[in-house]
Amino acid sequence: MNRQSQRPPAVIVMSDLAALARQHRLITDIAERGLAPLVVVGPTTDLAKLTGHIEDPAHPLSRIRAVRQFPDAVIAGVLASVQDWIADYDIRGVICSGEVFVDPCGVLSDALGLPGPGAWAARVCRDKVMQRVVLRDHGPAWRAFAPHQRESATADAYPAVVKPAGRMFSSGVVRVENDEELRAALTAYEPDETILVEELVTGPEFSVEALVHRGELLWSGVTAKLTNEDDSPYFTEIGHTSPADLPLAHSDALVAANAAILKALRFDSGITHAEFRLRDGQPVLMEIAARLPGDAITMMWHLATGRPIEPAIVDLALGVRPDYPAPTRRAVQRFVEHTPGRLTDVRYEGEPVSWIVDDAVWPLVEATTPDAPARCASVMVALARGSRLGALHDSSGRSAYVVADLPWDADPVAEVRAYTDRVELTIEPDPA
């Protein structure tokens, strides 16, 4: 028996505690295939808390075989830190479910000869400036300014959008109306951040989730997005609908644009999450990520198609061609509006409320039949008790939300409003 066969088979997952809580089906599916889940997390994860969940046999993350925390996602540091795993385990796959590890995952899968996006595609997906250069035929008009060029930053036309090139979760993305607002926005960024100044693309926003196997686009799903841009200068996502309720021609245009982008990236295997605006019916790329989508999008595709998407992600990492179905229902996520103050409680009559920060596990949902009536599938809270609520500048400030599971022909707006209206937030006002 050779040494390869003597080593226990394993899959490396690079993530953080928040994403692990959302995607715990990944860990379960890996373990149920007889593979050891080896997990890498970054500095934002409370390692003691994660270790406690791993030691709790009732928690789904208890299936994790080993976990390591890195202070950053520098490729050389990550590869050096997992070299003993590569020696001690037969690594069968590498999965990225956290944005900061897109680069190391792409390089590691390439280095081990395993399926993955490819190191080049991963690099471009992680860097907004590279995306604008490489995918310049698909995006808006833009200019990038390195840190030493900050004082000369300007927009070709207003209104414009300013964003830091290396951040996530809509952090630092703001609309500006003139040079004065642009100068003020620049003061909020770190001195070493490269800044993008882009034309403001108007029109509805969508994401396209795609499953790719060895360069073959197997499945695409279009998700409609709702942001707070209509009543603020920010672009925080406050809702999603999967699949989007839009004309077939528009859906086909989004899928075709995404397919062209994947071809330009030479994307090999895995899941992608690309964000677009539809301007006069034509897709304009905002950005693309080589990882699982955030918020409740994977849960929503489970409800819409009748099948969880995580096993397909594991298949792709292992080089197996998955078969993922088309949707027969529609799922909607909406965040609840809040007033300023401290969040002390959330209630919903007839449904349990999941405080996912406390439990580090998203509730499991079960799909229903295509003709089943509308239902509230889940009520969750994104913050811890006692968190301060204020204006939504980015995703970290959102509070409670519902996920609704609807028949195909239901009105998503009316149906989900009936559920969000039943959510009761208890908020203690800030002292005068």
The yes-or-no verdict on residue 429 having pLDDT over 70 is yes
The yes-or-no verdict on residue 165 having pLDDT over 80 is no
Give the mean model confidence (pLDDT) for residues 85-101.
Answer: 94
Distance between CA atoms of residues 222 and 216, nearest Å:
18
Beta strands in 171-312 (DSSP E): 174-176, 195-199, 205-213, 216-227, 237-242, 270-279, 282-289
Give the mean model confidence (pLDDT) for residues 293-299.
Answer: 93
The yes-or-no verdict on residue 4 having pLDDT over 60 is no
* Residue-wise pLDDT tens digits, 362-396: 999 999 999 999 999 999 998 999 999 888 777 78
Least confident stretch, 173-187, 315-329, 341-355:
173-187
Handedness of CA 273, 165, 120, 277 (dihedral sign): positive
**CA 125 centroid distance within chain:** 13
Give the mean model confidence (pLDDT) for residues 29-48.
Answer: 95
What the block records as the tokens of 65 is: 């075989």
pLDDT for res 5: 62
Element (H, E) at 128: helix 128-134
- The neighbour count for residue 57, using CB atoms within 10 Å, is 7
**CA 129 centroid distance within chain:** 19
**pLDDT interval class at 186 (50, 70, 90):** confident
pTM for this prediction:
0.90
pLDDT for res 265: 97
Residue closest to 225 by CA, chosen among 212, 208, 200, 211: 208
pLDDT for res 233: 77
> How many alpha carbons lie under 13 Å from residue 285 in its C-beta half-sphere?
26
Block residue for tokens 């439990």: 359
pLDDT for res 256: 98
The yes-or-no verdict on residue 311 having pLDDT over 70 is yes
**CA 388 centroid distance within chain:** 24
Contact 368, 405 (CB under 8 A): yes
Give the mean model confidence (pLDDT) for residues 220-246.
Answer: 88
Distance between CA atoms of residues 311 and 290, nearest Å:
17
Average pLDDT value for the chain: 91
416-428 per-residue burial string, b: 16 or more CB within 10 A, e: under 16: beebbebbebebe
pLDDT for res 392: 74
Distance between CA atoms of residues 194 and 102, nearest Å:
19
Distance between CA atoms of residues 103 and 221, nearest Å:
24
Least confident stretch, 153-167, 237-251, 275-289, 317-331:
153-167
Least confident stretch, 45-54, 188-197, 245-254:
188-197
What the block records as the tokens of 138 is: 């698909």
Distance between CA atoms of residues 335 and 206, nearest Å:
17
Contact 199, 189 (CB under 8 A): no
What the block records as the tokens of 72 is: 């950053």
* Residue-wise pLDDT tens digits, 250-282: 999 999 999 999 999 999 999 999 999 999 999
Contact 206, 297 (CB under 8 A): no
**pLDDT interval class at 149 (50, 70, 90):** confident
The yes-or-no verdict on residue 230 having pLDDT over 60 is yes
The yes-or-no verdict on residue 119 having pLDDT over 80 is yes
What the block records as the tokens of 192 is: 């070493």
Block residue for tokens 């995404």: 258
The yes-or-no verdict on residue 1 having pLDDT over 50 is no
Contact 101, 40 (CB under 8 A): yes
Distance between CA atoms of residues 94 and 411, nearest Å:
39
252-288 per-residue burial string, b: 16 or more CB within 10 A, e: under 16: ebbbebbeebbeebebbbbbbbbbbbbeeeebbbbbb
